[in-house]
Amino acid sequence: MIDFSLSEEERAVRDTVRSFISREVIPLEGQVLHNERAGRSGLDAGQLEELQGKAKASGLWGIDTPEEYGGANLGPVMAAITAMESGRTFVPFQFGGTADNILYAGTDEQKKEFLIPTINGDRRSCFAITEPGAGSDARAIRTRATKDGDDWVINGEKTFITQGNEADFVMVFAVTDPEKGADGGITCFLVDRAMGWRSEPIPTMGQWAPGSLVFDNVRVPARNILGEEGHGFRLAMQWIGQGRYMIPAKAVGASERLLDMAVEHAKNRVSMGHPIADYQAIQWMIADSHIEIEAVKLLTLRAAWQLQQGRNNSHASSIAKLTGAVTANKVVDRVLQIHGGMGYTKELPVERWYRELRLLRIYEGTDEIQRRTIARNLLKGHVKLGEIG
């Protein structure tokens, strides 16, 4: 039999994270809403730093970061569980002590300059592959890096880059040999903002404020190549694939919080002499939401478990990401419906969740791309039906 229960250690970490989110983070939601509706960012840098300091004091630091870099090294499953708990709030807070997975591919010098300061919270990074003409088709990027002596000169534009406006260095992917294509002609560079790239915020319907990055003759030394020259696309797919299960993990937390709100409202809102929880239409929306959330939870933990076992989890992650994104949007729509007109107003946070969760079906691989990936894996025999694990 498969044991789905958490170990004592896992349960203790989950409970600590849940308590921290409830005690320290959720109470800030009112302030975040007020700030955002006044045109300001959710929380200022000082508040986020203070929260991370409190989390670190509670032992919540580097959940999935190797111990040699000061992390807890609890693995992908615990990282997913932590994301489920932090997903219960829309306050833009992340536990510290982590860095992008591909930064571990750096040289000792690069780790000292980029990886370790990022883990310590002294530096902020962003990952830049998406371009105005290359979104889902990452192989179509046009940003060029041209060799000039011991340096490379980068020209091009990246778009919809998460943390692109806040980061002080970027992992940027550029074409270094157009004749070789994506599998041998794209290279990843570590580029400090001080080297000359600039960013502009892109307004969106949610709180996510990605950046548009411009590289105009940005000169980068060859020592700043991450990994091997020409093999950047492999790193890009590693970055995208391994962390994709964290998106549905966040979706689980948000969906559970929203469903809690719907249940509470249904029990207290009276219509035609009865709490609306007495009506079958409401009961079915609540039941369907719970069923779908539980399915996403298991799919997400399965993808995390596969990664923890050292297995390729890309197919499982695509399934979890697609299901999680679609489910979160179904749930928030039902929750808004249950709240009626008040759910549509800005007096309640439901509309805020509604706008934010819509993004899940687009970024880190659209619904359509996930379906294409899943179908391709089956049609080409990379995955066989009926397998367990």
Catalytic residues: 364
Mean pLDDT of the chain: 93
Assign 266 a pLDDT band (cuts: 50, 70, 90).
very high
All domains in the chain, ordered by first residue: 8-98 (1.10.540.10), 125-230 (2.40.110.10), 244-379 (1.20.140.10)
Residue 187 β-bridge partners: 174
For residue 251, give the nearest of 13, 92, 85, 96 by alpha carbon.
85
Who contacts 36 (Cβ-Cβ below 8 Å, separation ≥6)?
42, 207, 352
Residue 330 has pLDDT above 90, yes or no: yes
Cα 351 from Cα 36, distance rounded (Å): 13
pLDDT of residue 11: 93
User: Average pLDDT for residues 275-298, to the nearest whole number?
Assistant: 98
CB 170, CB 126: distance < 8 Å: yes
Burial 347-375 (b: 16+ CB within 10 A, else e): ebbbbbbbebbbbbbeebbbbebbeebee
For residue 243, give the nearest of 69, 17, 124, 83 by alpha carbon.
83
Tokens representing 246? 């964290």
Cα 302 from Cα 321, distance rounded (Å): 12
For residue 356, give the nearest of 332, 380, 340 by alpha carbon.
332
User: Average pLDDT for residues 191-203, to the nearest whole number?
Assistant: 96
Full-prediction pTM beyond 0.85? Answer: yes
Residues 25-65: tens digit of each pLDDT: 999 999 999 888 887 778 887 888 899 899 988 889 999 89
- Helix (H/G/I), strand (E/B), else coil: 128: strand
Tokens representing 66? 């190797």
Backbone angles phi, psi at 153, to 5 degrees: -110, 120
H or E element, residue 106:
none
pLDDT of residue 389: 67
User: Average pLDDT for residues 99-105, to the nearest whole number?
Assistant: 92
pLDDT of residue 303: 95
Q: Where are the beta strands (DSSP E) in 193-341?
A: 198-201, 211-221, 225-226, 270-271, 274-275
Cα 212 from Cα 58, distance rounded (Å): 36
